[in-house]
Structure 1
């Protein structure tokens, strides 16, 4: 289906007409994914340069696959001359002349470079620029974590250097952790900017200035993170403090535009008054397409019980008549998924490429977080989402904190899966990842597409369905096929105690070469809800720990043989 030029008339007017410009807000357009918003924007910018001298900073998400240079070529082609250049981190490292930037009417950079501009770097890129156009949401959140282990390192170093003020800070953090060890499902917010805690910020700044030798790099880093904690407050959770870096502030020019197909349902746009959404109608009708929702838990723990999940999932997929099928999973699971697909279709070949040839269908695997803006699968007519694309819950909570602080609003404690705003962020983020993955295929809506979603997050799926007008929605349950373990010999299961399982898991982790494992990860693998029950198990393993060079500090389990000498020495000092 060809998209009418008038669909982008509002965007064109916003770029060209100075009467529409605003210095203090982002005008956000949510043109439907697959309608060619990026291509049309390049055309508008190129055409504008023929008649007007407005200077543009264009920001896009990716540098890979030469995408930044392709954007430059597209703008120059539409301008009929060279008006655009690209700037990357490598260009700034080489000391490229700023005169080149200043002469160019259009500069194209990545989101990462824009973030650096928001930190106060590379200010020559915005000098005398008029228009800022950002393709996809610019996420400025930089998470900071100060663990119990790092607090121990800080305390050790301060005692060595005789800095009692910082020793006091480390003890305060330790005391707060001890006090907060009651509720496992609540992220308790602590504000250090009021009353009796205000004096810590100048003390930490003073200590940072004194740490100027090369051996103090780690401790200086912990102090800088502590400074962010004193300014912004943070969540106490799983024996650590979590906050964000506030040195990233949105940079705006005379005219500021964001292009984001998710904008109408991405909850972050509702949290900041400088986002002004100009909502666009949907262009495509999906009545010929089907979304197959297979209701099944896809958490790590659930899939461990469901050993043949991929094999069962593949049985649900109809390949007949399809030209291309895209499988989407998490990054860490890509290779494993390919092996399982090859195993399932082994009658058709010994490799994915051989199977593709014999089935006469393109089969590709990609992962969440790698798909926004990707156009490689535009003519595929089936997509399979085999994982619910969750971030860790702290990401949602810290996003909430970031925007509350940005807008001067109070931050509350966050109860997991109960806090209204955090849950809205979580739902819209998961829905956004799903929607973007789905819209990688059948980009022009000219084919009949089948969409398979294996997940149990109904609210997120409902949001996705709302983005696909008139789509046929079918739901079925795959829960009954999960391995509950009921058919196993009960006596054998009882012999496999939690302690024995813990030994096996820890030895496998040590063998893999990792230096440290979080206790929370071990708890999840053992399917233990209570932190206290895990402590009882670990206490029984004292002799086992000594035998295999394993120790525990705070919420971490360390494998000494895998540690670098420096880290091992520091661990011993903090023990």
Structure 2
């Protein structure tokens, strides 16, 4: 049974084409003719599956074709295009240069040609000849702290176009990071490891003992501020890097992990940080948006993600785009159960058994089903399959394409795909799938929402209210702005996940969302015009363990 909502009249094919053309023309105008100013970024929220990345590539391609083939006056603007992944850089380079015909006008920067190969990092003047430079998000972030790189890639450029949300790094340390670092060092663990980490653990113990005026421990209900310090930081960290360098048994990925942990230690000591539970985190003040005279972000979550809100910062200006993809042939259902990581772990066996049976019941022979949840249940730190995938295999589901951080891994016509939040945006491997199950809730550590706000506003406010409360098993902020950011992130991640399937203008799909937050579910529905809403189901999962089992 489906619930009837207020329906909009779907666009005819001709109406759709006309609306699509109008929206493409608006984006083109902002790329070629408008100026945001260096203190502003225009945010375009074209819905997922609209084709905003393709339109941008085609606008830049046509601009070069006009200049080289028609004799029309050339637009003097130089463009910097920022793409999420290396493969996107190469794909855009191929499109914008018309298959390589105009290689002298377009250059995609990758690790292979930046410091190696063509060594473009050292050819600053020659970089200026290119009409379009294309870089990854990671290189855009690295420019924040590398003035030479920033000058080489931005000097003389007019328009910045960032495709998808930028995720600036957050530096954290906890016991898990300690264990990782210890594994990457010679055995037995050197005293130096204790020396460089002891002040952080000492700070954590100190924060856990802090109380309010009523004598209650504060860290249970508040994100606290701390300032860890390490004497002779540079010398000790340099000695630790030498130990990592000399460990010939380390694999490349393990060595990279060790360097990342040492980088976190470098950035945590001597800086104000946030303490949350058992973890200390902070950010670099330099990690904030770099701009040109004209700045554009393309993000389907532009309307959902409160980080772009002008109530938080006047650095963003929304160029809101109405939706023109209707979901008359789609159904969505809310399955009520708390799917935070903590809740799933407590009832893992019962939950996985029930949800897999429901997935199998809905999956018909010709269906393609995408399943999305938290990474820890899909793949462990050693890139081995984790508990949910093992349970799928046990239940006889073997045709499974597993999520991967390897850009080269390709979908091979499997009936099921399992992936995790944070590993979906910008990927189209599941564009022809017709079912999507969201069986986990994409929650971030509470301190991350605060740090993200500071990164996006460019202002660090240590006085902001950081108190948290627990409602229906989920932590929420008392501060309204932070709670909007937290909830917007959850809604946006779910929206992006379900829009990985049926990436066309007439989708026909079934969506299933498992969580215990009806407000989040309703907000997702709001972004799927005309979707048919099935009656909700309460999964009513109870532990099979007896009271005696729990005592043991």
Secondary structure of 2:362's partner?
coil
Task: Report the secondary structure of 1:406's partner residue.
Answer: coil
Q: Distance in 1 between matches of 2:421 and 2:141?
A: 22
Task: Check conservation: 1:289, 1:449, Cα contact below 8 A.
Answer: yes
Q: CA deviation at 1:145?
A: 3.7
Alignment partners' CA distance in 1, 2:24 and 2:399: 44
Structure 2 residue 324 is the aligned partner of structure 1 residue 283: yes
Q: How does 1:124-143 map to 2 (within 5 A)?
A: 124-143=152-171
CA distances 1:186-238 after superposition (whole Å, capped 9, x unpaired): 2243376xxxxxxx99xx7x944666862588999746422222xxxx33333
Indicate the residue corresponding to 2:110 in structure 1: 88
Distance 1:243 1:57 in 2: 29
Q: TM-score, normalised by structure 1?
A: 0.70
**Cα distance change, pair 212–135 in 1 and its aligned pair in 2 (3 A):** closer
Distance across 2 between alignment mates of 1:451 and 1:160: 51
Structure 2 distance, partners of 1:173, 1:341, is: 39
Note if 1:326 corresponds to 2:370: yes
Cα offset, 1:72, TM superposition: 0.5
Query: 217, 227, 233: which is aligned to 2:270?
Result: 227
Q: Supply the distance in 1 between the matched residues of 2:439 and 2:204 (Cα, whole angstroms).
A: 41
89-98 or 427-436, which moves further after superposition?
A: 89-98
* 251-260 or 296-305, larger mean C-alpha shift: 296-305
User: Cα deviation per residue 1:505-549 (whole Å; 9 max; x = unaligned)?
Assistant: xxxxxxxxxxxxxxxxxxxxxxxxxxxxxxxxxxxxxxxxxxxxx
Q: Report if the CA contact (8 A) 2:301-2:492 is conserved.
A: yes
Aligned to 1:252, which of 282, 285, 291? Answer: 291
Specify the alignment match of 1:36 in structure 2.
51
- CA gap 1:429/1:495 in 2 versus in 1, 3 angstroms: closer
Larger fraction in helix? 1
1:179 correspondence with 2:190: no
Q: Quick one: structure 1 residues 159 and 131, their matched pair in 2 at CA, closer, same or farther if it must change by over 3 Å?
A: closer
Match of 1:12 in 2: 28
Structure 1 counterpart SS, 2:489? helix
Query: Does 2:457 match 1:414?
Result: no
Q: Label 1:86 to 1:451 Cα distance change in 2 as closer, same or farther (>3 A).
A: same
* Aligned-pair CA distance for 1:473: 1.1
Matched, 1:303 2:348: yes
Match of 1:443 in 2: 503
**C-alpha separation in 2, matches of 1:389 and 1:27:** 27
Kindly indicate whether residue 82 of structure 2 is the aligned counterpart of residue 59 of structure 1: yes
Superposed CA deviations along residues 14-34 of structure 1, whole A, max 9, x for unmatched, are 11115x341211011111111
Other structure's SS at 1:235 match: strand
Match of residue 548 from structure 2: 494
How many residues were matched structurally? 457
The SS at the match of 1:445 is: coil
Shift of 1:442: 1.3
- The whole-number CA distance in structure 2 between the counterparts of 1:431 and 1:55 is 36
Whole-Å Cα distance in 1 between the matches of residues 176 and 423 of structure 2?
Answer: 33
Pairwise CA distance, 1:132:
0.6
Which of 395, 402, 418 is the aligned partner of 2:448? 395
Q: Which has the larger radius of gyration?
A: 1
> Contact 1:119/1:249 (CA < 8 Å) preserved in 2?
no
In the alignment, is the contact (CA less than 8 A) between 1:31 and 1:259 conserved in 2?
yes
Contact 1:148-1:240 at 8 Å conserved across structures: no
More deviation in 94-103 or 170-179? 170-179
Q: Deviations over 1:135-181 (max 9, x none)?
A: 0111224233477998xx9xx989999xxxx9999978764543258
Q: Give the conservation status (yes or no) of the 8 Å contact 2:163–2:297.
A: yes
1:531 equivalent in structure 2: none
Higher mean Cα deviation, 263-272 or 241-250? 241-250
Structure 1 residue 345: deviation in Å? 4.8
Q: Do 2:305 and 2:485's aligned partners in 1 also have CA atoms closer than 8 Å?
A: yes
In structure 1, C-alpha distance between the alignment counterparts of 2:462 and 2:205, rounded to whole Å: 27
**Given the alignment, which residue of 359, 373, 393 partners 2:426?**
373
Q: Secondary structure at the match of 2:325?
A: coil
CA RMSD of aligned residues (A): 3.7
Structure 2 residue runs of 5 or longer lacking an equivalent are 1-12, 68-73, 183-190, 243-260, 379-384, 402-412, 469-474
Partners of 2:173 and 2:264 within 8 A in 1: no
Q: What CA distance in whole angstroms lies between the structure 2 residues aligned with 1:329 and 1:175?
A: 35
Shift of 1:53: 3.0
Deviations 1:58-102 (A, max 9, x none): 001112xx3321110111118962221111234333233424422
Question: Would the alpha carbon gap of residues 266 and 45 (structure 1) be closer, same or farther in structure 2, given more than 3 Å must change?
Answer: same
Could you say what secondary structure the match of 2:269 adopts? helix
Aligned partner of 1:112 in structure 2 is 138
- Determine the C-alpha separation between the residues in 2 that align with 1:160 and 1:144: 18
| Residue 159 to residue 264, structure 1, CA distance change in 2 (3 Å) | closer
* Displacement of 1:470: 1.6
TM-score, scaled relative to structure 2: 0.73
Offset of residue 112 of structure 1:
0.5
Shift of 1:422: 2.5
Question: Match for residue 46 of structure 1?
Answer: 61
Structure 1: unaligned runs, 5 residues or longer:
193-199, 354-359, 499-575
Verify the 8 A CA contact 1:291 1:474 in the aligned structure 2: yes
How far apart, in 2, do the equivalents of 1:9 and 1:159 lie?
Answer: 60
Deviation at 1:255, TM superposition (A): 0.8
Partner of 2:526: 466
Between 1 and 2, higher relative CO (CA 8 Å, sep ≥ 6) is seen in 2
